[in-house]
Structure formats: structure tokens, C-alpha cells
């Protein structure tokens, strides 16, 4: 049996960068939906990102493997269109804090599914304990009062969990079906397929030709969403996925809330409270438990200190 893939120091850095890019999407989205319907924002986001990645792939000398079009359509559906639609609808009925907590269950769902569906991503006590700590940290971070609505609006909450399941299946599906496809090509293929599925819905529902022209702020937000949070974000996503597996890449859902909060503090002068720092600490403990190396280092330090004390006692 293959050994379970692990995140290297470079992978952790990429995961943190991805969480910042996806955390920033909340700011870009907030500006964009101020003047444009949400479905149009999603469509423009994936369409522009796909166009940019197709050009980058071409300039890099790569080509989109058209024989994988079924796989790209599958990824576009379960990694973009379906979860985006479920989360957008759910957030019209429940608070964003509760939605964040439910979304943070994604790595736990992924770990369970990957255990059943893959040969090299098996459940371990450390993995389950770490993800549980991460979910607890996110709950503290966004405020435990967000849990007050748990169970009150069953269908929207079920939609958030269904989106988490969809993301989980997408990670496992991509690792199986897009194996060997370059990360840039995988990202371009997925986003192109997402655009093809989203555009008919936009024309049918929003009729964009009837909408007012977006102002400079909205255009800037759309470019940020498309180029940074989506094009660059998914290129990083597929790179980590290929190296470290589905469960590890979806740990990003534990990092997005703290990234969004820190970005708000840095650029929007939002205040940080004690519960934020407690949440950051609990999430860090969870990620450290999953990785294993910080605990192993602590164990070696404690063991070494114990040996030194015993040696000192023997000399006396």
C-alpha cells in the first residue's frame, strides 16, 4: 500500500497563499455583487479566469488535452457550478458565519470519502483529531453565537453540507481522473467547462444586456476575482492536489476564515478580538496535529529534556 501523501514546507506555503487568495474573494465579491447579480459575478469570474489560463497555457507551450473534456465537465460541475449555487442560495437563508462553519467540515468529509475511495489517503487518529480541532477553531473564530441557528433552517444548512460533499468528491475525482494533466491545463479545463455551463444560465436568468455598465470599482473587483482568486487560485489548487492529495488540499477550508479576517483587519481596519486569537490558535493546533511534525518535534524536545534531567541527577 502506498504511503499517505504529506504536505511539504513548500506545499504549506502554497496552501497558505491559496487561503489568502480565496479569503480575498469575499472582499471582491462583496464589491461586485453591489452592482451585479451574483450569478453574473460567478459567470464573469470563471469566464475571465478561463480565458487568461488558456492564453497562459498557450504561451507556456502547453495544450488543453481535449480528450479529457468529460473530466473537465465533471470538475466544472462538482467543483464550481454546483457548490457555488448551493452556497449562494444557502447564504440567502442563513448567516455567513454558520455557512463558514459548515463549509469547514469539507476536509473531514473528504478524509472519510478518501479513506473509502483511495488507496493512499487513509484515515488516521491524528487526521481526524486535527480536522476536529480545525472545525472547533473556525467556530470560535467566527463566533460561537453563529451556532445558535444550527438546526433551525434545515434545507439551507443541508445545502452547505452538500456543497462540502461536492468539494470533497471533486478533490478525489480530480486526483483520479486528471492524473498526469499539468496543473495549469487542469485549471484551464475546469474553468472553461464551468463557463460553458454557467453562461446559458446567466443569459436565461440575469439577461446581462439589460444590466447597467459596471463602474471602475466593480470592474476592479471582477478582475481581482478572476485573475487572483480564480485563475491563480486554481492553478495553485491543482498543483497542491497533484502533490499532496485531496484531503490535504481541502484543509484550505480551515484557513480561509482566518485569512479573510486578517485581510479585513489589515485593509479594512476591522477590529480583532480575543476570540479571534483563540480561534487562530486552535486552528494552528489542528493543522499541527494533522501534519504531525510539530508534535514529533515537541516529543523529541521533551524526551531530550528528560534525558538531560536524568543524566544531571545521576551525576549528583
CB-based contact 287:259 (threshold 8 Å) = no
From the list 253, 100, 90, 269, the residue with the least C-alpha distance to 170 is 253
Which of the four pLDDT bands, split at 50, 70 and 90, describes residue 223? Answer: very high
Confidence category of residue 311, pLDDT binned at 50, 70, 90: low
Q: What is the pLDDT of residues 10-59, one digit of tens each?
A: 999 999 999 999 988 878 887 888 888 888 888 899 999 999 999 999 88
Q: How many CA atoms lie within 13 A of 273 on its CB side?
A: 5
- Helix residue ranges, H only, the chain: 9-32, 38-59, 69-76, 82-90, 96-103, 106-117, 125-142, 154-177, 183-205, 216-223, 233-244, 246-249, 252-267, 274-291, 293-315
**Residue 1, pLDDT above cutoff 60:** no
Q: Mean pLDDT in the chain? A: 86
Q: Which one of 37-51, 85-99, 137-151, 286-300 scores highest in mean pLDDT?
A: 37-51
Cα of 47 vs its chain's centroid, Å: 20
Residue of 287, 301, 297, 233 lying closest to 6 (CA atoms): 287
pLDDT digit string (tens) for 114-148? 988 888 788 888 888 989 999 998 988 887 776 66
Q: Which pTM value belongs to this model?
A: 0.84
Q: What is the DSSP string of 40-90?
A: HHHHHHHHHHHHHHHHHHHHTT----GGGHHHHHHHHIIIIIHHHHHHHHH
Contact between residue 282 and residue 275 where contact means Cβ atoms under 8 Å apart: no
Amino acid at each position: 500500500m502506498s504511503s499517505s501523501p504529506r504536505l511539504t514546507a513548500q506545499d504549506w506555503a502554497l496552501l497558505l497563499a491559496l487561503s489568502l487568495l480565496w479569503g480575498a474573494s469575499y472582499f471582491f465579491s462583496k464589491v461586485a455583487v453591489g452592482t451585479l447579480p451574483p450569478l453574473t459575478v460567478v459567470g464573469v469570474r470563471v469566464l475571465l479566469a478561463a480565458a487568461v489560463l488558456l492564453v497562459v497555457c498557450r504561451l507556456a507551450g502547453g495544450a488543453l488535452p481535449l480528450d479529457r473534456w468529460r473530466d473537465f465537465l465533471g470538475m466544472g460541475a462538482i467543483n464550481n457550478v454546483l457548490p457555488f449555487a448551493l452556497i449562494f442560495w444557502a447564504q440567502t437563508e442563513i448567516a455567513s458565519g454558520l455557512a463558514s462553519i459548515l463549509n469547514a467540515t469539507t476536509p473531514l468529509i473528504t478524509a472519510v470519502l478518501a479513506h473509502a475511495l483511495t488507496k493512499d489517503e487513509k484515515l488516521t487518529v491524528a487526521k481526524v483529531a486535527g480536522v476536529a480541532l480545525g472545525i472547533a477553531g473556525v467556530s470560535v473564530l467566527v463566533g460561537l453565537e453563529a451556532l445558535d441557528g444550527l438546526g433551525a433552517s434545515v434545507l439551507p444548512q443541508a445545502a452547505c453540507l452538500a456543497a462540502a460533499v461536492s468539494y470533497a468528491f471533486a478533490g478525489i475525482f480530480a486526483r483520479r481522473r486528471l492524473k498526469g494533466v499539468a496543473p495549469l491545463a487542469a485549471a484551464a479545463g475546469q474553468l472553461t467547462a464551468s463557463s460553458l455551463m454557467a453562461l446559458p444560465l446567466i443569459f436565461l436568468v440575469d439577461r446581462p444586456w439589460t444590466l447597467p455598465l459596471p463602474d471602475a470599482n466593480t470592474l476592479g473587483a471582477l478582475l481581482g476575482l478572476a485573475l487572483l482568486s480564480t485563475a491563480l487560485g486554481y492553478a495553485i489548487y491543482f498543483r497542491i492536489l497533484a502533490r499532496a492529495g485531496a484531503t490535504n488540499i481541502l484543509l484550505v477550508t480551515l484557513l480561509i476564515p482566518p485569512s479573510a479576517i486578517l485581510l479585513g483587519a489589515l485593509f479594512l481596519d476591522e477590529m480583532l478580538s480575543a476570540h479571534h486569537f483563540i480561534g487562530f490558535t486552535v486552528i494552528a493546533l489542528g493543522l499541527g496535529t494533522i501534519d504531525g511534525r510539530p508534535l514529533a518535534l515537541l516529543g523529541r524536545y521533551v524526551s531530550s529534556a528528560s534525558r538531560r534531567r536524568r543524566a544531571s541527577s545521576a551525576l549528583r
